[in-house]
Structure 1
């Protein structure tokens, strides 16, 4: 009877991994399977040091989750880069890091833009990074609307997307 439970557990693990869209890339040469991913050569890394490719909060590989990347400057003028808005909120609200000049990657151009002027699409069918609700940003409203038409979700501003990201921490407690 124990062997049946072991087989079922292994089958469950296999099915879970097969269905979650696990990233196949460990190096820039392999193919990406996540929507958020770009090759390292296309990622703009704003922070410095030997861990510049990693999210300052969770350590996730920034190019793998590039289309949800954010960056901000601290009061001591240090640039910090994040895999997601979730990690920005964690650093700002939980760690009490005083962040300003928040930037986000524009999904269309893959360049950093001001988060304050971005159009966020929240809750699309595309997977989220560090959250159940995806949050993708666009410099132009027409691009955000086209994304919503294709993948669903709601267009909102940075403040509203930030407020939704804060809810992730209310459910974790």
Structure 2
């Protein structure tokens, strides 16, 4: 099949799945899609936009990645993008599950996991990804290197701990290594599209789980009020 046709078909699939995930996110938030807190959003060229400005609400600019254009996103990647913009988690700590999306306008969304990368793809539905990278869970390095997801195989649903999800989805550069871990930890092998589809299907359960955990942590951190006699 012609590579151009394959790329177009893949983008159409991302848009279809992303639209479904975005609709689910709106329903979970009570019918409102909320943008991230305003930071100095910059786009290529002379234009700039703010995610909380009225002029961008209801347009793709509402959810624009809050980064400067970066032609070399993999250079000092964890220094430039230390935290996930969607959940705030430390990408250096969760280096084994991190993802990075390099959009065609050179903006970067660097996330802690496939789950948060799926949010980026859904919210930036009209921004085409030039490349998507995932950490190679099977690598021996202290910090897992990134590999293009087109070249990776995902282990989905093993008993490895998931990141921002009940269902683990880890990427491997070598299929042999993924198969070795699958024999030890269970799960199924699939490509990026299979893993992304599962991430969208899991979104409702994962959102409920994360909200419950964070609510519990808030309750535990609140000072205990002593009852007066």
TM class, shorter-length: 0.5 to 0.7
Q: What RMSD, in angstroms, separates the aligned Cα atoms of the two structures? A: 2.1
Partner of 1:118: 152
> Which structure 2 residue ranges, 5 or more long, are not aligned?
1-74, 209-229
- What is the TM-score when the length of structure 1 is the normalising length? 0.67
- How far apart are 1:47 and its partner, in Å? 6.2
Aligned residues: 128
In the alignment, the residues of structure 1 paired with residue 100 and residue 199 of structure 2 have an alpha-carbon distance, to the nearest angstrom, of 15
CA distance in 2, matches of 1:97, 1:73: 14
CA contact (8 A) 1:70 1:103 kept: yes
Q: 5+ residue gaps in structure 1? A: 1-43
**Larger-Rg structure:** 2
1:9-158 to structure 2, matched below 5 A, reads 46=77, 49=80, 52-96=81-125, 98=127, 99-109=129-139, 110-158=144-192
- TM-score, normalised to structure 2, is 0.51
Runs of 4+ off more than 4 Å: 170-173
Deviation at 1:108, TM superposition (A): 2.2
CA distance in 2, matches of 1:167, 1:104: 20
The Cα offsets for residues 49-97 of structure 1, whole Å up to 9 and x where unpaired, read as 5xx2101221100022111111011232022211011101111113536
Hey, which of these two has a bigger chunk of strand by percent?
Answer: 1
